[in-house]
Structure formats: structure tokens, C-alpha cells
Structure 1
């Protein structure tokens, strides 16, 4: 190279190009790095106390930041990397760690942590495998997070825990890195093969100095946000690495992991409120509650509302830590570590906290039963690990340990570390034996039965929700404990197609007797799809609905429970008609229309869940049992055979006769009906009573149905929007139907086209017999019921501005008259008058039809309609005002009363009432429940081959 070339090459055109050239040149980059490092050491040595000298601390921070930036830039450039090599050769991380630990300055500590994180992320020089590097970094992390260190900010703490997480990630991917961070005791090496003898060599107590990184992560697993996620995931990686290291496995068994996790979970559970009321935000109240007599329960400093942000935060924190337990068990491949964790979970959390809180709960002290039952339900809904579920339900339901002795002979020998840990736990619990509780005398089943009979409506509601959670997710635990079941023979007599059609028709007829106009074909199709998905998704139905591809590979794997006492496969069974749980639910349904909406929804959901399992037979408790069928002697009796028994056509004739016998309909006798059907029929009678007592009942019911449909359309992305159709299949006006139910009644016309479509799918023509004795209303030539058109005033009770739809964002009319004229027209005035009357009707209080009450009189409100009033009407209005005065005092007593109920001896007996608006909402729930029952019975018949055709 000549003189001019060297001269041009060394010319500085700009400072920016010079810095870029220095970054590209490895030698100049190293010179710059060494200069920054030497300046850092010089500043540190000259300053006697960085915590007091702000200028020196700022300079140290800048120098550390410069070193980190150079390393980060170099790691992105091609080889060679002289700065990273310089760090490994000179071990400059040692003085940097010392500077950070003695500075007591958060900014210096943060930059030092970023410097170490950059070295960990580099793939050269194997920093994470170096004992010197691990000792220096471990000392830094322990000192800056210890008790004598300064309090770090949230951002710095996240960087610290993230650095520890990055190290555990490398340990998980490369197991040979573990010895640099975990110092095993003499006599056991991390790379030795797993054997029983090596487990016995492990002796002594664990020390934090053996694995400081482990305890660092343990300190942060209860935190929220990123810091908690990094800590929990890093701890999972360490536990997963124990499967490849016998020394680490034994160390974890004797460490404080299981004790700290169990006590931490117990601490989070203890932070939850002892007394709770279930509430919904006023601005987000579900429409089904808004259109009922729902009242917000009062909360105090001691009684917390379920929609409180602080309570929601505490509950989510507790559930997240519970899920961390589940993740630890899922990642743990060591049987000893898993057994130690489960043992501490049972003794410390389950026996010492969860069960005593259930035992000490009460529904008369402001909602403690509501609280603990809600917590247990959320626990069962959140968990799906079979061992944890088995521990909880096995203990709370007092299941027998019949298989414990059989499994004890096949288990491998337990190590000395595990034995010592179990002995320590037994010694710790021995001091609390006086205050310990046992579910042998009072278990979860007793608590559920007692809570279902509670006078606190919220207690009943949350108990039903708990039962539903057990039936849905853990049904095999309920078959022998919570439910009184009976075994059935696989060759038992099935119900016939005639009886099946009769029972389906009975349920759909009851649904039709409620009344209303809707597209019921589409509604029922959606119900059938939901029922099919529900039955197929039930955990017990997997073996029944799973396709069998061959005779050799259709066997499903066994339930992966490692603990003894877990119930195995659910056998074919049926529910006893005297089952206490079923009868308690039916007792609740008898007062269906004045019950709170939430109780009715939970009760109907529980009945559906009882009948979803494919191994339970619905005959006997939900439907009539085939053994109790009785037929008329002369009606529908198959003719005698005119052929000889030896004739070739005799077998065909016998088959035809068998088909005819199966199509016969048994006599419908109330004495042979299960209690479920009798209760449902009595509820239909109550609907007829309200229809006769409440004026404009059918119009108000249709308004309420349209109000729900409108609410569904306003919800963003509704799961199932069922559009209303006033031109579809119309339900008859049941107000004109009379007559009592006979033993063998005539078939009514309610939902006739709908029912005919169902029965035609079963392959049988419709008949005139029906379990419901209702007269047919007038019919048109097309066969559809054509009730006279009636104006439908808008549902004023719904929280929308129906008088001006454009203001509420709803351009829809609920009244045919709204298309004809303006507000000042006679039709609009008439609609307004009817709306005013409807408001008075909806607000009136009615009771169950135990005694005959006078129909509610029609009376226009003077403020809305302004009709001329004579003296007789004035007297009538005064009488009604006097009659309403004591009734208004009782209105405050309606609804949920979960706070402080009066002792039973101080509560005078009173007649429970509910508003007409509440009755209408429950009537729609009742109608939907009947259709869901009919859909479930129809789906089961086809999916499980429950119906006999010949």
C-alpha cells in the first residue's frame, strides 16, 4: 500500500463513520472495551462509598452501560468476538459483581444484571458451565435480593428473575450445565445412574448454599405479573431436570419446596374473604336477572361482594398458584418428588385448611357457607390433574382406601430422604392433633344435603353449582357417595318406541302449554345440537361414543391415577327414586315460579347433568320404567296369528307383531310417573293458574320473550342468537283451554306441527292419544293455530328506550301499531294506555296457587292514560291503594337474603310472593327446560340405543 492510499484510509470524514469503523474492527472494539473497563475500575477504586457519592455512582453506571452495549453489539456481529473472550479470560464479571453488591444503588445493580444477562445469552466461552461464573452470579443475585439489600424496583426485580429463568432454560436444554449451579453432597454425583442404592446414600439436610438459584425462584413464585411467571416457569424447569439427576431429585425431596408451596397456597387461601355474597355489577347485570325480582345483596366490611375488584384479584391469585401446583406435578417425572408434594398438599392445605373451613361454615353468619362452597367449586373447576382431584374428593367424600394395601406391595422402595421428609411432616402435624378434624363424621355429602335445605337462597344456589361441577367433571366420584345409585343389568328391558314417543310428546306438550310465539323448529334443532355435544363431551361417555376401528385397538387407556382409592370405571347404574339429592332438587322445583332465577337455573342444570352420563339409565327416576308399563286389554292388541307355527311366513308375522307391540302406547297413569314428571306437570297447572289470574298474560309473556331476544342481539358475538319469528309456528292461546287430565287423554294441538316432525323422525305416525288432556282451539285450513292478532306493547320494564328506538341504537318495532301512525294517533294512545296497564300488572305481587286468589283487575294509571274517573272508580282505586300498602312492605322481603337472616324462632310464617314480571321470566326458563329435557332424552335414545323397536 502506497503513501496516498494509507493517507486516504486514515482520513476521518466524520465522527459517525469513525465509530462504525471502530465497531466493525475487532481489535479497535476490544481496545474500546478495555478502556471502558479500566475507567470503571479506576472510578470504583477512587470512591470509598458509591452509595454516598452520586457523581461516582453515575459514572460507574455509564461505564457498565457502555460495556453491556459493546458486548450486545459484538454478539450480533460475525466472529471473532474478542470482547467476550476478554471477559472469560480476565473474569471481569467478578469485580463487576462486587461493585454491584457494594454499591447499594439500584441503577448500578440493574446495569450489572444486564451485563451478566448478556454474557449468559452469548453462545461462546460457555459462561453458564463455568464454576467461577456461576459462583459470581449466584453471589450477586443472593446479595441484591437478600434481607440486607436495598429494595429493588419492579423493573429491576423482573430483570433479576428473568436472568435466573434464562439460566434454568439452559439447564433444561443441556443437563450437563447443572453441576455448575447445583453442588451435590459428597458421595453422590449428579451424573451417576439412577438406582435404589444411590438413593440410600443421600443423607443429611439440604442447605440453601447447595442450590441458591432454586431458593431465589421460590421467593418469587407468589408474585403476580411477569416476575411470578418467570419464577414459576424456572422452578418447573428445575423440577423437570430432577428426572436426570438422582442427587437433585433427593435434594428436592428433602428441600423446603413442598412445605413452602403448601404453606404458600394456604396463605393465599386464608387471604380470601370468609364471608361472601354473590352479586353482579349493576352496569353489566344479565338480562335474565334484570327482568326478575333480583336485588343486589348488601356487602359490608366483613361480608365481601363477589364482584369486588379486590376479591377478584385475591381469588385469581389463589387459583393461579393452584394451577402452578398442577403444572409442577405435570412436569415432574420423579415419583418421589411428586409423592412428597401430594403428601404435603393433603396434610397442610387439605386437612388443615380446606376441610376445617367447610366444617365451620354456616349460612346464618353472613355467608360463610357461600364463600367456602364457592371456593371449592372454583378449585374443582380449575384442576384437572387426576392425583389432585383424587386427593380432594377422596378425602372430602370419605372414599375407602381398599386398594392401598394392594398397591403398597408393588411400589418401589422409598428412599431415606423421602422417609425422613414424611417423618418430619408427621412430627409437625402431631402437635396439632387436638385441633384436627376428620370427615368420617361429617363429610362433603352431609354438607351438601344440609345446605340444600337452607333458608339462605344464595347457599342453595352455590350448593347446586358445586354439585353441577362434580357431576360434569368428576362424575365417577359422585356415583357411590353423592348419589344413591343402583346397579342394572345390561340385559334389562328397554323402553319401547311407543312409550318413548309418548314421553317426548308429554314434555313438548308441557312446553307448548306455556304459550308464546317463536320459531320452535329452529329452537329445538339448536337444543338437539347442544344436547349432542354435551352428551359426547361427558367424561364418562368417551368409551361409549368413541369409534371402534377394530376389535384389537379400541380399548382405551386406564385412568392415570397413581394414588390408591380412586374410583375406576363407572358401571351401568340408575338413580334411586328415593335419592336425597334428587328429592331435594325436586322440592326446590315445586316452588319454581317464585324461586330466584339463579336457583332455578342451577336446579335445572343439575337435573340435566344427572341425565347426561351414558352409563346412567333414565328409566325409573326421570322416565317411566318399562316394568311398570300397562296397556288396555282391547286397545291396540295385535291380532292372533292365522298361520301355523311351522309355516315359513310365521317368523315374519311374529316380527311384525313385535313391532306392533313396541309401538303401543302404555296407559298414562299418574301413579306410575316418576316424581320429576309429576312436578313438571304440576308446574304446568300453575302456569294455567297464572294465565287465568293475570290479565294479558300471553301478551306479557311474548313481550318478555322478545325482550330476551333483543338482549341477545345486543350482546357482541352472542354464542347462539335465536331470532324470533312471529310468522312461524304459533303456540295456541292456552287461556281458553279447559278440562282435567284423564287417565288416557286426547292429544292436544299445542306445538302439533313441531311434535309431528319429531315423531316422524322416529319412524312412527302420530296418534291421537296424549298424556295431556287439553281441548283443541279453533284451527285454520292449513292446520296451524291462528289466534286473533293482538297488539304487542313494548316491554317497558326492559332497560332500553323503546319509545325512541333511535336513541337506544335499536331500529326495531315490537308493536304492529307502531308502523301505522305517530305518537298522537289513536292507535299510539291505545298502545301507551296498554303499556301503562302492563307496568301495573308486572309490578303486582302474586303467590303460589295454593289458595285461590282473585284475578288482578285492569286499571289504567291516571298519570299515563288520564281516563275519566267516576266515584265508583275512585272508590276502587282507593281500595287497591289500601290493599297495596301492606303488600309494598313485603316487597322488600322478596329476593335473595344472604346477609343476616333472622333466627328461625323469631321469623313469623309468611306467604312467599313474587312479581308478575318474575313469574314471566321463570315461565320462559321452565319452557326452555322442558325442551332441553325432551332433546336430551331424544339424543340419548339414538346415541346409546336405549329404545326398543321390535
Structure 2
């Protein structure tokens, strides 16, 4: 090269660096010198470019051009921070130097030159001078640059350069959003628009023909990057949202977007991401992060194969996150879109391309016998419904899948015309395209989501049942107005007799609390119940249907909340007062699952109890008749009015007061407790309580093992808390932690945002420090306190935690005697085990602890089935310390071997034999079995569910005024 750059040529004052620095600062401050420097850099740039025949192959020339571009950008950035005048920026606008710079970048095929050119254009835009973004020449040069460097024939750009390119496009859309008048510089319709006679009847009829990329290249540039992750995708999606938002200010842009490929590309892109999800799925937890509630059960990790993917797989989680992020982008587009026609076009493509062509066929073709396809599609649908909250998208999905009847769309009124000519053409194109692809069509009218849910709830696959109940719970919690006309069989309510009386309310709460007391436990139930009450109160108030009932009335002239903003026909409106039919199939399917509670998988029980609570949370559903007894079935003892009391004059004030007192007294009466009038759910819960008593009679050391399980949950909860605190603490604080902390000896996963997570906290509350005495001591104290203590619960509806747990009413048939206590009762628990003493073989205390641990492990590992309550359990003799041996079976040749048997091993064998004898006499061999450890965990879940159910009844009574006092 025959040129020398300014930086390579030594200046005259090269030997005086101080003078050089001073002159450079003066040149930067002097606008004239700064412009001279800028023009010199630019002229050298043009000189190198014009004298280079092939910039893509000339490395030296490319490097010099890159340096010159960088200098130009630095001068512009420095000048924009200095006070006026800005001669360099004016020179760039007057001479339009961005035109040759764009040409240099597009023909260089050099990523570094491209990157510097993009930064140069970004500096001009950020200067906000000379109206670059409004200039047609500037927009044409920049548009040509962006199209050429991102096109199919361009070089592959690095991630950092891609970020700069898309960020530049995003900055332009930000300008368009803030200044709509600059849109014509970037959006120009090149197609011939007009009519045959040259006259237009409407502005919307001016647009004709199909959209082309050259009309709005910036739009399609952003469309190409909306599926990318990281900053590139964020810039692209947000920029596209700004363009769609600007469509409300331009009729031409609105019509162009309607007929563009936006809706088709977005729908097909969403379908492609959904198709990447595995067709077969199993729900699993990482081995190192298994929740304690599953670790203390018969949980087995499902088998994952090449075809069946585990939910713990990183690939599955990545694909699911990508799909949900694009689904949320759909929601953002609809939220930003102010054009009714654009929104309708997007929703139409979402329904036809995604719902009808992909989502519904996957539900229709799913099965629980082919390795988990039902688990997969039901999980995907649940995640979709949990992620979305846009009413139009929710309405489209549930309206179609639940086969709701269509309504006339003409009843809706919009500020804009409902359908334009472009909208009609787009709909016709979509209909013809789908007709050519569909050989056979399926309709939810034949098999809808309700049919699939009912069939899956009866499945033999536990995971299918579990994910189905989770889907039902999601619909009940988030979209209850769709469930009352499809999933649930509802009935109207009579406001005069639908509410229960105060006496019946107290009686039913006492019944549930008595069942909870049957399980036993320590004497801190008041604190536990108070905590559960607060959680249930928050949960009821957060339900979308309860908002209108619990929201305060701010103004006397505004009693109604805003209507749900649905723009599509067919969406259910307000939820009317209703009740669940006692013959509801969904309810009975859940109760069928509940009947096998103690041998069910833990996750199934958590999902079932969660769904039952969600059924009763809505403030518009009456719980009398299906959850509690209906008032019309109340039967009271004959009234025993005091004889001889003279009645006052009926016209007097005293007579009216007497009538009020008598009405209050009648509402306080407790109806007769008749099993024939109980709803099925109360019968099932009482049967489960009887099974707990039967387990206590047939399983050795049941109470002690139950207390150990509570303490184990408490220890696991403390470990999780310690791990979370350690992660939040600083590195210095973490280094100071004692390495001998027991939290390091065991790992537990953080609480999940689901039924597992919520139940984990309840487990820690039900778990208390080790205490001496039987866990049933609380229950025995209640039953021995006498009938007079029942009066202490008269105000439980208003102050549920101010009194101890009530004594069961005398008419309850649930009155079991406490089983005998074993002579081996102790306060040993896994959390109190001292490893330092176990190892000593000569220590008798350590030997006894090890012996007890071996006995407990043998009992916990034994598998049992559900007891048959019609058969009286065979009582076990817990008082003996040595196993009984049949001397008739002893022989002299093995007498020495029997003398060497460890008494502890003999005790374990004897306990196992006793369990087998009792179980075989009560459970047929063909029925399911579970380990004693699994049953203990389910018993604790059962007790917590009773407390939640009781607290829900009391919370509803206070919030919704469901109890009659007079």
C-alpha cells in the first residue's frame, strides 16, 4: 500500500508527549479541528476502499477500513457528549457519508467491518440530530445494509454482531413507537394500489395485493430472530411488539400486517416448537433432589428410554421453556395489539393451525398404555393453561377443547369494522390451505377434553391419574367459569335453605377435627391449625371467582367490578351461584381414588386432596349437599320447650324478642348424626379413620413409628432451610459454617410450587420435637375430658384457634379404644441418634439403640394391604419382649443354632410374622400392598387434609356468611 495512516506517521512533536496530549485535547474541544479530523478519517476510508479491487480478500485493506470506521464512530460518540455545535454530525448528514459506508460493509464480507458499520449507524441514530431516522436516503441505506448482512448469501455473523444488528433494528422500532410520523420512511408499499376506475370508496380499499418483504424489511428482519434465545430474541420480540402497536396509528400498516405472514409464521413456529416436545413423558424427580415426602414412601423412579423422556431431562426442560416463552410472546403480541383486525387474524391462525391441527389431535391420539403419551399431552396442556392469562387465548383453547357451543358474533360491537376486505381474503386463504391439508377432520363434539379427563381418572397408570387431577385443579383454580358448564354437573341453589345452621356447622367441624385426632400427635394442634387457617384464607381470597365477594365496596355507586374483557363469542360470563350435584362423575372419580388412600402413591394423594379443595374454594359454589350435609336432611330431637312459661302478647315487643331468641336457639341445635344423611366424602373420610385405627392395632409400634416419621419430616425441613440460608449467605459467611453440620449429611430439594411444596410446610408444622408419652395422648385427653367440654367450641366459627380441639359429639360412632402400649416404648428417633455411641460394641445402650433401629426397619419395610374393617383385627401382644416359640417344633440337632440367634433378629422375625398373620386374615392376596413406611407418610397426609378441609369450612363461613345464626 502507498499510503500511511495518520497514526503511523510520527507528528512533529513526537518527542514531546505532553505537548502532543495537549494538542489532541484542544483538537477535540475545537469544533473546527474536530471536523477536519473527521473529514480526514473519512477521506482515507474512501481512498482505501476505491483502491482495493477485492476487499474480501485484502486483509490489510480490510483492517485499515475497520480502524477508520472505528475512529469515525468514536468521534461521533465524543461529539454528541459535547456542547453545540456538532459539525461532524452535520457533515455526515450533508454529505450522506452513510451511503458509501453501507456499500462498503455489504461488499466487504468481513464481520469486523460489518460490526463497525452497524455501530456507526447506531451512533447517528443515538445522536438524535439532523433527523436521520426520518430521512429516506438514510433508511434506504440502513435497510439495505441490514437485509444484505442477514440474508441467505451473507456471511455467518457471530453472536455479538447479531446482538448489535438486532439491537439497531430495535432502536429504530423504539423511535417509530415514540414518533409515529417517521413510519413512512421505513414502511413503503411497493405494490401497485388502486382500483379499475381510479376511485376509492374507503381508505381500507386503497390497499390491494399481497404483502412483500421490500415493503417493510425491518419487520421481517425482526421476525427471523423472534425464536432466538438471549438478548437477540428479546430485542427482536420487543421490536416486533412495537411495530404491531404502531399499526393502530396507520391504516396501511394495519392492513399490511393482516395480509402479511405474521400470523402464519407465528402459528407455524409455535406448532414447530410444540412438535419438538416428546410424545411420551414420565414425571420424575432428580435423585439428589427427591422431596422428603417422596423419599419416605414407596416412590420408584420411572424408567426413561430413548422414546420415553423424563421430566428431569435437560433437553425436555429446554424444549418446554422455549415453547412456553414463545407462547407468552403470543400473549404479549395480543396485549400490545390495538387493532381488532390484526388481533382477530392472529387468533384465527392460532386456533386453526395450532389448536385444531396439533394440540387437539395430540389429545385425541394419546393413550396411557403406550408408555406415557397421555401423561405428556395432559402435562403440556396444564403448563399452557398455567402460563396464559390472556382471556382471548384461554377462551379459544377451552372453548374448543371443551366443545362449548358457539354464539353469534354479530352481537359484539367494535369501534372498527368487524371484518375488512383484507381480513376476508386472509381468512379465505387460510381456509383453503387447511382444506387442502386435511384429509379427515376430527371434532371435539365427538370426543372432548371432558371425556378424556374422565377416562384418564379411571386409568391403571398412576402417573396418568396424577397429571389428570393436576390439570383439573388448574382449570378449577384459574378458569372455574369454564368448568361449571363442562367438567362439573352443577345445580341451582335455594338461598333460603342452602346455608347450614350454626349447630350443624360446629358439629361437622368437630367431626373432621375428631378424625384428625384419631391419627394422634402432639399437643400443638392449635398453632398448626392457626397457620393452616391463614394459608386457606389467602387461598380463598386469591381465587378469581371470590374477588367480587371479598373485594371492598369503594363507592356506593359502583358495586360491580369490570366485566371480563373477552372479545370472542362463546366465553362463559359471570359464575352464577351453584352447587355440585352429589352424583357428579368427577367427584365420584376423586372419591374412588380417595378410598385407596393409604396405598396410593403419595403424589396421587397430594393431587387428589388438592383437587377436592379446589372444588370447594370458589365463593359461588355451595358446599352443602356434596361436602357437608344439606339442611333439608337435618333431623332434630323433639323440641322440649319449658312448660308453664306464659307467652307474652303476640303484638308486644317482648314476643318478637322471644321469637328471635327461639330462632337463635333452634340454629344452635345440633342435628342427629345419621350416617345415611352424610355425603359420600364424609363417609370415605370416616372409613379412612377406621383404617388408621386398624393399622394401629395390626402394626407393631405404630404410634412410635408415626412419631419418628413426624420428627424425620421436621429434620428434613430444617435441612432444607439450612441449605437455603447457606445459598443466600455470602462466601465469607459460608466459609465460617461448621462442616460438621448435620445439614451436609443429607440432601433435600427445595419446595416445589405445587401440592408437594405446600404440603411440605404442613409436614414441618405437624412435626414437633420428641416428647415422652404416646402420640395419641392428645386424643385420649379429649375423650376423657367429659361431655361438658363440648361447649368450649361454640364460638369456633369466629375464633377458630382460641379453644382446644373439641371433644367428639356423643352421637359419633367413631369411638375406638386406645391400643395397648408396648413395653418397648421409647423416645428414640432418627434425629436424636448419636453416631458416636453406636459403634461401641461393648456399650449396652448403643446395642439397645441398634436393636430398636433394626426392629423399626424391619417393620417399616414390611408390605401390607388395606385392612378389611368388617373383620375384627387380631390383637397383638405388645407386652412380650421375647418371641413365642413352639417347643414341639424344636429338635436337638438345631438347638445349638437356635441358641445363637440374636434376640433382636428374632423380635423382627416375630413382628413380621404377626403382620403377615393379621394382613392375610384381612386382605386378599390379589389386592395392592404398600410398605408400612409408605402408609405412615400417607397417614400424615390424611391428617393434614382433614385440618385443611376443616379450616376451609370455617374460612368460608366467615367470608361468605354461609352459617345461619337465626
TM-score by length of 2: 0.85
Asked whether the equivalents of residues 278 and 316 of structure 2 are also in contact (C-alpha less than 8 Å), the reply is: yes
Aligned to 1:447: 452
Q: Kindly provide the CA deviation profile for residues 189-214 of structure 1, in whole angstroms up to 9, marking residues without a partner as x.
A: 9xxxxx99211222111110100000
**SS of equivalent residue, structure 1 residue 304:** strand
1:832 to 834, 850, 861: 850
Matched, 1:299 2:304: yes
Aligned to 1:388: 393
Distance of 1:89 and 1:846 partners within structure 2: 90
CA shift for structure 1 position 418: 0.7
Per the alignment, residue 160 of structure 1 pairs with: 165
Cα separation, 2, equivalents of 1:568 and 1:167: 41
Structure 2 residue matching 1:574: 3-state secondary structure:
strand
Is the deviation greater in 715-724 or in 562-571?
715-724
Which residue does the alignment assign to 1:758? 796
- Taking the aligned partners of 2:644 and 2:369, their CA distance within structure 1 comes to 68
User: Residues 168-199 of structure 1: CA distance to partner in whole angstroms, max 9, x if unpaired?
Assistant: 0010000111010001368989xxxxx99211
1:847 maps to which residue?
Answer: 865
Secondary structure at 2:579's aligned position in 1?
A: strand
1:794 aligns with 2:832: no
1:398 & 1:359 partners in 2: Cα distance? Answer: 13
Equivalent position to 1:668, from 664, 670, 673: 673
Match of 1:643 among 644, 647, 653: 647
**2:859–2:911 contact (8 Å) kept in structure 1:** no
Greater shift in the superposed pair: 426-435 or 100-109: 426-435
Q: Which secondary structure state, in structure 2, belongs to the residue aligned with residue 621 of structure 1?
A: coil
Instruction: Give the Cα–Cα distance (whole angstroms) in 2 for the partners of residues 68 and 938 of structure 1.
Output: 70
For 1:418-469, what per-residue CA distance to the aligned partner results, in whole angstroms no more than 9, with x for missing partners?
1110110111111133232210100000000000000110000000000000
CA shift, 1:735, in A, is 12
Q: Give, in whole Å, the separation in 1 of the partners of 2:491 and 2:773.
A: 43
Report the CA distance shift for 1:879/1:142 in structure 2 as closer, same or farther (over 3 A): same
Aligned to 1:946: 962
What is the distance in 2 between the residues matched to 1:869 and 1:24? 105
Q: Please give the alpha-carbon distance, in whole angstroms, between the structure 2 residues aligned to 1:509 and 1:68.
A: 79
Tell me how far 1:944 sits from its aligned partner. Answer: 0.6
Shift, 1:411, TM fit = 7.7
2:150 counterpart of 1:145: yes
**Does the 8 Å contact 2:698/2:875 carry over to 1?**
yes
Q: How far apart are the structure 2 equivalents of 1:751 and 1:287? A: 38
1:783 is aligned to none
Q: Distance in 2 between matches of 1:436 and 1:768?
A: 59
Distance 1:79 1:591 in 2: 82
Change beyond 3 A, Cα 1:857–1:71: farther
**Aligned-partner Cα distance in 2 for 1:344–1:705:** 54
Deviations 1:256-313 (A, max 9, x none): 0000000000000000011000001111111111111111111111111101111101
Counterpart check, 1:109 vs 2:109? no
- Within 5 A, what are the aligned runs for 1:682-701? 682-701=687-706
Which has the higher mean CA deviation after the structures are superposed, 10-19 or 24-33? 10-19
Partner of 2:175: 170
- Out of 739, 744, 765, the residue aligned to residue 722 of structure 1 is 765
What do the CA deviations read for 1:621-669 (whole angstroms, capped 9, x no partner)? 00000000112226x6676862144344222222221111111111111
* Contact persistence 1:709–1:724 (CA under 8 A): yes
SS at match of 1:13: helix
Does residue 460 in structure 1 map to residue 503 in structure 2? no
- Tell whether the 8 Å contact from 2:223 to 2:236 is kept in structure 1 after alignment: yes
Q: Of 308, 323, 330, which residue of structure 1 is paired with 2:335?
A: 330
8 A Cα contact 2:382 2:471, kept in partner: yes
**TM-fit CA distance, 1:549:** 3.2
Deviations 1:835-874 (A, max 9, x none): 2211111111111113867789999999xxxxx9835969
Pick the aligned partner of 1:367 from 352, 364, 372. 372
1:507–1:934 Cα contact (<8 Å) kept: yes
The answer as to whether partners of 2:521 and 2:778 remain within 8 angstroms in 1 is: no
CA-CA distance at 1:834 after TM superposition: 1.2
Report the number of matched residues. Answer: 882
Deviation at 1:910, TM superposition (A): 3.2
- CA separation of 1:639 and 1:759: change in aligned 2, threshold 3 A: farther
What secondary structure does 2:412 align onto? helix
Q: In 1, distance between residues paired with 2:192 and 2:174?
A: 27
240-249 vs 395-404, greater mean Cα deviation: 395-404
**Aligned mates of 2:396, 2:338 — CA distance in 1:** 19
Quote how far apart the aligned CAs of 1:223 are. Answer: 0.6
8 Å contact 2:711–2:767 — kept in the other structure? yes
Distance 1:948 1:620 in 2: 16
Question: C-alpha separation between the residues in 1 aligned to 2:362 and 2:620?
Answer: 34
Distance 1:730 1:199 in 2: 84
**Counterparts in 2 of 1:87-102, with a 5 A limit?**
87-102=92-107
Which residue is 1:412 aligned to? 417
Per-residue CA distance 1:92-144 (angstroms, 9 max, x = gap):
11111111111111111111111111111111111111000000000000000
Q: Which of 72, 78, 82 is the matching residue for 1:77? A: 82
Partners of 1:468 and 1:651 in 2: how far apart?
Answer: 48
Q: Normalising to structure 1: TM-score of the pair?
A: 0.86
Residue 231 and residue 503 in structure 1: after superposition, are their counterparts in 2 closer, same or farther (change >3 A)?
Answer: same
1:795 offset after TM fit, Å? 2.9
Report the Cα distance in structure 2 between the residues aligned to 1:753 and 1:18, rounded to whole angstroms. Answer: 97
Structural mapping, 1:862-881, within 5 Å:
870=898
- SS of equivalent to 1:435: coil
Map residues 519-918 of structure 1 onto 2, 5 A cutoff: 519-633=524-638, 642-646=646-650, 647-715=652-720, 716=724, 722=765, 724-726=767-769, 733=776, 758=796, 761=799, 769-770=809-810, 772-773=812-813, 790-795=825-830, 802-804=833-835, 826-850=844-868, 870=898, 910-918=926-934
What SS does structure 1 have at the residue aligned with 2:347? helix
SS at match of 1:558: coil
Q: Evaluate the alpha carbon distance shift between residue 695 and residue 353 of structure 1 in structure 2; reply closer, same or farther with a 3 A threshold.
A: same
2:44 to 25, 36, 39: 39
1:931 has 2:947 as partner? yes
3-state SS of 1:569 partner = coil
Q: How far does residue 755 in structure 1 lie from its aligned partner after superposition?
A: 6.0
> Of the candidates 129, 134, 144, which is equivalent to residue 129 of structure 1?
134
Residues of 2 paired with 1:52 and 1:839: CA distance? 77
Residue 53 (structure 1) aligns with: 58
> 2:522–2:778: 8 Å Cα contact kept in structure 1?
no
Q: Once superposed, what is the RMSD of the aligned Cα atoms?
A: 3.7
1:878–1:823 Cα change, 3 Å: closer
Q: How has the CA–CA distance of structure 1 residues 44 and 856 changed in structure 2, closer, same or farther, with 3 Å as cutoff?
A: farther
Alignment partners' CA distance in 2, 1:882 and 1:53: 91
Aligned residues of 2:489 and 2:584 also touching (Cα < 8 A): yes
What is the CA–CA distance in structure 2 between the aligned matches of 1:760 and 1:173, rounded to whole Å?
56
- Kept in 2, the 8 Å contact 1:517–1:729? The answer is no
Q: Kindly state the Cα deviation for residue 747 of structure 1 after the two structures are TM-superposed.
A: 9.0
SS of equivalent residue, structure 2 residue 118? helix
Gaps of 5+ in 2: 1-11, 195-199, 726-750, 752-757, 884-895, 917-923
SS of alignment partner, residue 672 of structure 2: coil
**Distance change >3 Å, CA 531–CA 768, structure 1 → 2:** closer
The 1:591–1:752 alpha-carbon spacing in structure 2 relative to 1, beyond 3 Å, is farther
Q: Distance in 2 between matches of 1:101 and 1:861?
A: 93
* Comparing 523-532 and 213-222, the one that deviates more: 523-532
Q: Structure 2: how far apart are the matches of 1:502 and 1:427?
A: 65
